[in-house]
Amino acid sequence: MLDYEGLYDAFYMQVYSFLLTMSRDRSLSEELTAQTFYKAMTAQSQYRGEGSELTWLCAIAKNLYLDEQRRRSRQSPLPEEGPASAGPMEDDALDRDMAFRIHLILHDMPEPYKEVFQLRVFGELAFREIGRIFGKTETWARVTYHRARLQIQERMGEDG
């Protein structure tokens, strides 16, 4: 039987920080952190004790965040075309084109490369934290990230 009050006291800030890193939204992070601990409390039979409690909580948090992202993407209409950013028009267009190409490549990339790359680049997580999320080592996270980066570079070269 897990001590949920102890879990909450010990890991609240770490889970909140993890979610804030991914979402960059304080309000959403607070809400998802609360949902994480609620889900952990109601799904206690799913914790097998194989990994650390923090890893288990971060996995729940990550899944809740991904569910929220999917829910939001289904609900939000396509954005209207707005004015260009303040930077030079050519640079802005190149940056958007490059970002779009990377996202297209990521879309087709197999797991775990896709998720590790996204956690590292967009979530700005340390390799140690990524390894813990997957229940692997820091070295595994580093190698997986670098392989993903190489795949993206190769695909960018193929696409011209």
Considering 75, 101, 133, which residue would you say is the last residue of a domain? 75
- The residue whose two tokens read 């670098």 is 146
Residues 104, 54: one domain? no
Considering 75, 103, 134, which residue would you say is the last residue of a domain? 75
Confidence category of residue 79, pLDDT binned at 50, 70, 90: very low
Residue 80 lies in a domain: no
Confidence category of residue 65, pLDDT binned at 50, 70, 90: very high
Cα–Cα distance for residue pair 35/65, rounded to 1 Å: 10
8-51 pLDDT per residue, tens: 888 888 888 888 888 888 889 889 988 988 888 887 556 666 67
Provide the number of structural domains found in the chain.
2
Beta strands per DSSP E along 95-137: none
Task: Please give the helix or strand (H or E) that residue 44 lies within, else none.
Answer: none
23, 65 contact by CB (below 8 A): yes
DSSP codes, 76-139: SPPPPP-PPPSS-HHHHHHHHHHHHHHHHHHHHPPTTHHHHHHHHHTS---HHHHHHHHTS-HH
Confidence category of residue 80, pLDDT binned at 50, 70, 90: very low
* Residue 118 CB contacts under 8 Å (≥ 6 apart), including other chains: 106
Domain hosting residue 35, numbered range: 4-75
